[in-house]
Amino acid sequence: MGSGIPNKQEKLSFGIEMEFFVAWRAETFTGTVPTPPGFESKTGEPLVVKGNWATEGDRVSALAHMIDEAFPSCAATVAPSEGEIPDYRTESWYHLLPFRHHWDVSVDSSLNRLPVELRDKTGPDFGWVGAEIASPALWATDEGFEEVRRMCEFLQTNLLTFTAPEAGFHVHVGGGNEWLSLSSLRQIAAFLYSADMVLAQSHPEHRYNNAWCPSPRLYSNLSVGIKHLPNQAQPAPPDERLAYADSMGLAKNSSQDPVGPAKPPRENQDPAKHRFSPRPTVSNLKIQTHALERVLSYLGSDLEEIPDPRTYLPTPMMTAVAELLRSPDRRSIARLMNIGQRKGAYSFIQLEREYKRTIEFRQAASMVDPVGVVAYARIAVGLCQFAITASHEDFFKIILDCKISERHPSWYDVYDLLEDVGLYPEAKVVQAVLSDTMTDDMRREYWLSRGHAPRP
């Protein structure tokens, strides 16, 4: 695809956070740790905790020690391309100090209560514990994704892990030690806002109808009525005026739905199109009154007029896109994309802070399978890359397809979107994950498609 956006050479970085439960036993325990159904064929073993094991911290510390020994450093960690040693005392690097070399292992407070499947499978010297493993900041290169694959394979080989609806998988995307440019942040925010309800189709329902990663399209400050104040809003800089003008024009001329009720789905119009089955046919996101009321209670006097939850409709998509594309600074983008003062499915809240400079993708379900983890990480990076580098024509074509899909879900779905942005191998992984049809042959095909060497 061509590019009409000047910042197309920005180098992206990423990091992942995996939340899951891990089986453990005290060194003196000689019995068998009970496991939930489906673990009979696993190759790993319970984590052995030497010394103290009384608290969650003791058990997770044993996991941290195990990870530190197996992964002392990573060649793909964000560092100067010239091979220089970064000075973490400087403004350009200090925010990466906690993410500079090692995988970090910590207690996850959201997992301190065991899921029902594990509550009768624990005792004083054995059981299950929730943990989060976070990668260092990695360049979005094959080497970076290979490091993630290596960690997942290590976990699968050496441990017994359990994923549950309470746990999630997060991907942070940034620009290495630099802030992403304002132009890039605007484009990414506008693209994710538009695609939100389509992208939700790549996750199980418990991940898009919950309080941890709510929809920005339905519940963000922008959707419920927050806008830039007149003295805040600034026109886009000269290089971005075309994008802003396009969005304003589309906002004014997109009131009529170009899809008639008898219009066939897009996939039927292209005989060469890969057939993903099953395809979504109805909208998978519905406004939940209690969730909306919670958001409105956060905003208080910030709203000129408080919407009635019974008749609420979010801000029209193209109006919201135009608002994002004229954001005067990164904090304004965060304010519009936040859910009250909380994070949404795509969190820009870090843009208001100095200790992180990333956009966080929060909606994916907990997973440890290397293919799934790498594919969803590549999706997060690929969506940002497309938003930054796409031509105006390609950028707004997808946004308009997403707009149409809000009323006609069969017109454009997540598989269409992933194919359009160059993520066809990942689309096939998503379909296999959601339908629970992943096979070893599919795993091998995916690794080959992305230049990773298949494991024997």
Spatial CB neighbours of 12, under 8 Å, sequence gap ≥ 6: 139, 140, 173, 174, 175, 176, 381, 384, 385
> Cis ω on the peptide bond leading into residue 278 (within 30° of 0)?
yes
Q: Which of 218, 397, 229, 377 is nearest to 312 (CA)?
A: 218
pLDDT: which is higher, 310 or 360: 360
- Mean pLDDT, the chain, rounded, equals 86
Q: With 80 as the cut, is the pLDDT of residue 283 above it?
A: no
Whether this prediction's pTM lies above 0.75 is answered by yes
Which pLDDT belongs to residue 55? Answer: 93
Which pLDDT belongs to residue 284? Answer: 62
* Interval 200-245: pLDDT, tens: 999 998 888 778 899 999 999 999 988 764 445 455 554 454 555 5
What three-state secondary structure class fits 202? helix
Element at 282 (helix H, strand E): none
Helices 182-199 and 370-389, axial angle in degrees (round to 10) = 130
Mean pLDDT across 158-168: 93
Evaluate whether 186 touches 327 at the Cβ level (below 8 Å).
yes
Ranking 156-160, 252-256, 366-370, 391-395 by mean pLDDT, the lowest is: 252-256
Q: Alpha helix locations (H) across 141-288?
A: 142-158, 182-199, 205-208, 216-219, 221-224, 241-253
Burial class (CB in 10 A: 0-12, 13-18, 19+), 121: middle
Which pLDDT belongs to residue 118? Answer: 94
pLDDT: which is higher, 184 or 293: 184
Which pLDDT belongs to residue 255? Answer: 47
Q: Residue 368 — very low, low, confident or very high, per pLDDT cuts 50/70/90?
A: very high
Domain boundaries along the sequence of the chain: 13-174, 182-449
Which pLDDT belongs to residue 228? Answer: 65
Q: With 50 as the cut, is the pLDDT of residue 82 above it?
A: yes
pLDDT: which is higher, 427 or 292: 427
Burial class (CB in 10 A: 0-12, 13-18, 19+), 311: exposed
Q: With 80 as the cut, is the pLDDT of residue 302 above it?
A: no
Q: With 60 as the cut, is the pLDDT of residue 259 above it?
A: no
- Relative to beta strand 168-174, strand 13-26 is antiparallel
The whole-angstrom separation of Cα 295 and Cα 378 is 31
